[in-house]
């Protein structure tokens, strides 16, 4: 296998700019087929992105002999079914985050992949981005000394009423399809980074509630992690604040200073030591998944390590389950 020939299951919004075009821009990779249950939308996507084949049945794409790797970009409720079908067809799989509805489902994917000896990676794509690679490097270099704790604050305005009837929003706040609410859509990126930065976990716990009763899913989550290294993490996600209180901030406190950066704005890292603030600036990425997709292609071709294993993806689901357990 010299070229990864991708098929996308679920060629929706997330694939328009974040990922889809990148499959034709990285080395040894091409996008050859797409699938969406809405036949006209699948056909339209293929035409706009120059893809030669389109389907409205996932099994048809999985069984296409030209497709030798599958990218699953559907809502989480369908990840396990399509991932296992692809694995059973002998094809490596790249799975959107969150990896599945819950830890049990994610762990099943990881288990089947191991049993069948098929490569699977999870789209925690911030692991490939320059800003977060720089954070990891600075932590390793102990630029702020020994890490004491990490703190995450992520606050968003309540969704407008009309958004509840928009399909691309509605599924994200339907626990049967997304696994939870907006926390399940947002937090996988953040929690994966903490796990990537700080390593193995001793224990995790949290609380969640539906404060506004605006939709069925919880709209506030508090989570706490004790890492085996002794680092402690605290996170608060709230999706019903006023505009002036919107926030996207991660702060890591060390023995000699602190570091802070946003998770969803690829802008800058601030390092604060001895009363002096240093800024490291970053350019936004056109296709945010492209750096990780290159690493995935290399891994599938046997030319590099797995940048995000199914076990990593399942661990993130485990943390989310612990935070929202009733």
pLDDT at 266: 80
pLDDT at 133: 98
Of 223, 176, 203, nearest to 320 by C-alpha is 223
Residue 10 CB contacts under 8 Å (≥ 6 apart), including other chains: 35, 36, 72, 73, 74, 75, 78, 96
**C-beta of residue 225 within 8 angstroms of C-beta of residue 206:** no
**C-beta of residue 71 within 8 angstroms of C-beta of residue 9:** yes
pLDDT at 1: 59
The fold adopted by the segment(s) 130-284 is Dihydrodipicolinate Reductase; domain 2 (3.30.360)
Gap between the Cα atoms of 119 and 157, Å rounded: 39
Domain extents for the chain?
Answer: 4-123+288-305, 130-284
Sign of CA dihedral 313, 16, 67, 58: positive
The fold adopted by the segment(s) 4-123+288-305 is Rossmann fold (3.40.50)
Using a 10 angstrom Cβ sphere, with 0-12 exposed, 13-18 middle and 19 or more buried, the burial of residue 56 is middle
pLDDT tens for 207-236 read 999 999 999 999 999 999 999 999 999 999
Using a 10 angstrom Cβ sphere, with 0-12 exposed, 13-18 middle and 19 or more buried, the burial of residue 198 is buried
- How many residues comprise the chain? 326
pLDDT tens for 56-102 read 999 999 999 999 999 999 999 999 999 999 999 999 999 999 999 99
pLDDT at 210: 97
Ranges under pLDDT 50 in the chain: none
- H or E element, residue 59: helix 58-62
């Amino acid at each position: 296998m010299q070229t990864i020939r991708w098929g996308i299951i679920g060629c929706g919004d997330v694939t328009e700019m974040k990922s889809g075009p990148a499959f034709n821009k990285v080395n040894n990779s091409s996008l050859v087929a797409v699938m969406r249950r809405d036949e006209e939308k699948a056909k339209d996507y293929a035409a706009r992105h120059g893809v030669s084949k389109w389907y409205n049945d996932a099994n048809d794409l999985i069984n296409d002999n030209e497709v030798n790797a599958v990218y699953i970009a559907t809502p989480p409720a369908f990840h396990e079914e399509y991932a296992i079908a692809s694995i059973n067809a002998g094809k490596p799989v790249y799975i959107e985050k969150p990896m599945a509805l819950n830890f049990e489902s994610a762990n099943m994917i990881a288990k089947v992949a191991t049993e069948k000896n098929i490569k699977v990676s999870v789209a925690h794509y911030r692991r490939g981005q320059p800003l977060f690679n720089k954070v990891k490097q600075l932590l390793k270099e102990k630029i702020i000394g020994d890490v004491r704790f990490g703190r995450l604050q992520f606050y968003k305005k309540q969704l407008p009423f009309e958004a509840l009837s928009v399909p691309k929003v509605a599924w994200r706040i339907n626990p049967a399809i997304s696994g939870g609410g907006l926390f399940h859509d947002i937090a996988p990126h953040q929690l994966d980074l903490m796990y990537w930065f700080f390593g193995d976990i001793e224990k995790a716990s949290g609380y969640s509630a539906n404060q506004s009763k605006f939709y069925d899913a919880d709209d506030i989550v508090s989570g706490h992690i004790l890492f085996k290294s002794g680092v402690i993490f605290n996170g608060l996600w709230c999706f019903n604040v006023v505009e002036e209180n919107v926030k996207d901030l991660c702060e890591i406190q060390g023995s000699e200073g602190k570091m802070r950066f946003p998770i969803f704005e690829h802008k800058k890292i601030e390092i604060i030591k001895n009363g002096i603030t240093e800024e490291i600036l970053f350019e936004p990425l056109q296709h945010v998944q492209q750096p990780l997709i290159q690493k995935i292609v290399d891994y599938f071709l046997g030319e590099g390590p797995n940048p995000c294993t199914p076990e990593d993806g399942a661990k993130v689901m485990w943390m989310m389950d612990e935070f929202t357990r009733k």
